[in-house]
Chains A and B, each alone.
Chain A
Amino acid sequence: MSDAPRKAPSVTDAYEMVVGLEVHVQLLTRTKAFCSCSTAYGAPPNANTCPVCLALPGALPVLNEEAVRLAVRAALALHCTVNETSIFARKNYFYPDLPKGYQISQFDKPLAEHGRLDIGVNADSTPITIRITRVHMEEDAGKSVHDRYPGVTAIDLNRSGVPLIEIVSEPDMRSSREAGAYLRALKQVIEYTAVSDANMEEGSLRVDANVSARLRGETKLGTKTEVKNLNSFSGVERALELEFARQCEVLASSGVVTQQTMLWDANRGEVRPARSKEGSHDYRYFPEPDLPPLQLSRAWIDAAQLSLPELPAAKVARFIADYKLPPTDVEVLAASQPTAAYFESVVKEGADPKSAANWVIRDVLQEVKNGASISAFPIEPSSLAKLIGMVGDNTVSSAAAKTIFAIALKTRERPADIAKREGLLQERNEDALAGWVDQVLAENPNVATRFRGGDKKLLGVLVGLVMKASKGRADPKAINQLLSARAAAGE
């Protein structure tokens, strides 16, 4: 985040970064926005095309109901006001991957407006709120491949017409860190509401940033540039730092920032001006005459509101309140809905929340990070709850529990069965315990003598040796008591 090699700290320190983000999110529909072609990723070039998305003469768009439902869901989750009437518009420009010569989007009257997203808390624990200007629906363009064949550009229209929402924020972010936090919070909301898989690598979440610099204390906005081609969250943060530093240098040397489009080059780690697009931008928006206004009844919108799941912020608050867990743990548990759901199931199955949180964060998420999916996690919440319970009532030791967990990951067996088969149940039988103690004392006569002579420091060593002899089955507390009793008795 402090990766700004050309920046002279004294220059940027005088300035404040102002960032607004435009995020495109691909909606999780089966078919495209305006035709019945599949949205499946990875089909052969132009396999998922039809008269509509090829813009054949005479073809007409018909809007996908599911795209509307998902777009409204996202808008409501971002606390937007959903307009009962919204209007589609044509954005006109020529590009070979834009078959109609216009993109169907929304302009004057978008689907939803005036939302907000909390991205964290300030030092005084007030929330950092980023205002959402609007959420509108539009269609994706196809893909232009410039490096496949020499001298020509190859066009694949499989993506042409795939439904998107564009989420436009106000210029409310003041650092690259806030921009990163906004994107992570946004992605979380999108995933919680199952509106999109929000995968930046596959392009189902795309970010353009508007960034400007101004002297600290200044209230007017500076001239902004738009940074495109941002392909990862860390890339966004780095690109913003670099572009901000560049603008600060321009301003500090009494220069003028030119409004332009910049491209982030992830390979070279640099931001440079986009080579000027041909012609000027004059999109000639006008209402799409092929689509009547989209009318949504208040009742329908209210029902959509009610169908929203608990959102990340609410979940975090509830976990802190209900389970008395530290906020840092809760952030991890609520990061994704499946993780939160898994954790809560473990607790519902009777596990103590603190232990459940520890197990999920330390052991379960470690495995999930290694590529497994928590929804298909081999150890059911009920099994984990049992295991936690077994540790709690000393049926197994913590060490044995780890072993059981590792085995259950592979075999999906019940913890109790594993413990029994592997002989990992804590041994409480007095005779067995005494046998191990005798054995250890016999095998270590010097230590035994010193211990009996009153050297209490050796208690720990002996407990460890007994545990080893019992292959972890002995209850360390019982051994402790037993050894202490022997020492007291001088045996």
Chain B
Amino acid sequence: MAIGPDDVRHVAALARLAVPERQLPELVSQLNGILSHMDALAKVKTVGVMPAAGVGDAAMPLRTDIGPPIPLARPLDSFAPQSRDGFLLVPRLATHESAGDDESSE
């Protein structure tokens, strides 16, 4: 399975990384170089083998439904890049130039 420039563009978009076009060829070749070594896995028979889910057989420890939360030594607005009235601020999504679409995340 060879990776092409479009694949790199696609995953860079998913990962919110801007990859300059001039860096693409080198990245494509490096990633293909790495992935070529991964082909060794395809030859391993894993029929009936469970994928590792976490490490060890320990079950999940649960917490009781009580506070208080882990405290913050400094308030959020002291380390947030941009905040106002307690809100964090980010540039508005291009698709939200007109308010009204309450398209918050799913």
A binding-site residues for B, Cβ under 8 Å: 29-31, 35-38, 44-52, 54, 59, 62-68, 87, 92-98, 103, 141, 143-149, 151-157, 228-229, 263, 265, 274-280, 282, 284, 287, 289, 291-295
Contacts and interface: CB of A to CB of B under 8 A. Distances in A.
Nearest to B15: A94
B93 A153 contact: yes
B62 A68 contact: yes
Contact of B76 (A49, A96, A147, A293): A49
Nearest to B90: A96
Nearest to B85: A45
A275 B102 CA distance: 11
Contacts of A228: 103
Interface in B36-79: 51, 53-54, 56, 58-72, 76
A141 B95 contact: no
Contacts, number: 160
B22 interface: no
> Which 10 A-B residue pairings sit nearest by Cβ, starting from the closest?
A147-B99, A66-B65, A154-B87, A295-B59, A50-B69, A45-B86, A65-B62, A95-B105, A155-B88, A36-B69
Interface residues of B, number: 46
B87 A29 contact: no
A205 B81 CA distance: 33
Contact of B63 (A64, A277, A287, A293): A64
B89 interface: yes
B64 to A, nearest CB: 6
A292 B91 contact: no
Contacts of B102: 146, 229
A286 B88 CA distance: 29
B70 A50 contact: yes
A94 B84 CA distance: 22
A29 B105 contact: no
B89 A149 contact: yes
Nearest to B77: A46
A64 B105 contact: no
A38 B67 contact: yes
A155 B89 contact: yes
Contacts of A38: 67, 69
28 contacts: A30-B66, A31-B67, A36-B69, A45-B85, A47-B86, A49-B69, A49-B76, A52-B69, A54-B76, A62-B63, A65-B63, A93-B105, A143-B104, A144-B105, A149-B84, A153-B92, A154-B87, A155-B87, A265-B100, A278-B95, A279-B13, A287-B51, A289-B54, A292-B54, A292-B60, A293-B60, A294-B60, A295-B59
B67 A154 contact: no
A154 B65 contact: no
B88 A154 contact: yes
A37 B67 CA distance: 6
Given A35-B70, A263-B103, A293 B87 contact: no
A50 B51 CA distance: 33
Contacts of A278: 93-95
A328 B46 CA distance: 59
A148 B87 CA distance: 10
Interface string B13-51: 110100000000000000000000000000000000001
A60 to B, nearest CB: 10
B69 A35 contact: yes
B6 interface: no
Nearest to A91: B106
Nearest to B92: A153
Given A36-B66, A289-B54, A46 B101 contact: no
B103 A36 contact: no
A144 B60 contact: no
B14 A282 contact: yes
Given A36-B69, A63-B62, 19 more contacts: A31-B65, A31-B66, A38-B67, A46-B87, A50-B71, A62-B63, A63-B60, A146-B92, A146-B101, A146-B102, A149-B84, A152-B92, A153-B93, A154-B88, A154-B89, A275-B101, A278-B94, A287-B53, A291-B60
A87 B10 CA distance: 28
B71 to A, nearest CB: 7
B69 A87 contact: no
Contacts of B101: 146, 263, 274-275
B28 to A, nearest CB: 19
Q: Which of B54, B66, B87, B93 has the most CB of A within 10 A?
A: B87
A295 B56 CA distance: 13
A434 to B, nearest CB: 71
B90 A152 contact: yes
Most buried by B among A52, A95, A228: A95
Nearest to B87: A154
B99 to A, nearest CB: 3
Given A36-B69, A50-B71, A97-B104, A295 B88 contact: no
Contacts of A146: 92-93, 96, 99-102
Contacts of A35: 69-70
Chain A CB within 10 Å — which of B61, B69, B88, B102 has the most? B88
Contacts of B105: 93, 95, 97-98, 103, 141, 144
A87 B53 contact: yes
A144 to B, nearest CB: 5
Given A35-B70, A293-B60, A46 B86 contact: yes
